[in-house]
Amino acid sequence: MKKFRFQFESVLKMRRHKRSLCRQLLGEILQADQRLVEESRRLDALRQEQIQEIRQRQEPGRVDIDAGANLRSYVGQLQAQLRTVQANRRLLEKQLTACRQALAKAEQEVKAMEKLSDKHREAFQFAQIRKESLELEETWAATQQSGGLR
Residue 77: name the closest of 33, 52, 43 by CA.
43
Q: Does any domain span residue 127?
A: no
Per residue in 40-52, pLDDT (tens digit) is: 999 999 999 998 8
Contacts 24+ apart (CB under 8 A), 41-44: 43/78, 43/81, 43/82, 43/85, 44/82
Q: Does any domain span residue 1?
A: no
Per residue in 84-97, pLDDT (tens digit) is: 999 999 999 999 99
Per residue in 57-68, pLDDT (tens digit) is: 777 776 667 777
- The SS3 call for residue 102 is helix
* Confidence (pLDDT) at 1: 65
Q: Does any domain span residue 147?
A: no
Residue 38, domain extent:
8-114
Would you say the pTM of this structure is higher than 0.75?
Answer: no
Q: Does any domain span residue 95?
A: yes
Of 22-36, 113-127, 134-148, the poorest mean pLDDT is in 134-148
Q: Does any domain span residue 120?
A: no
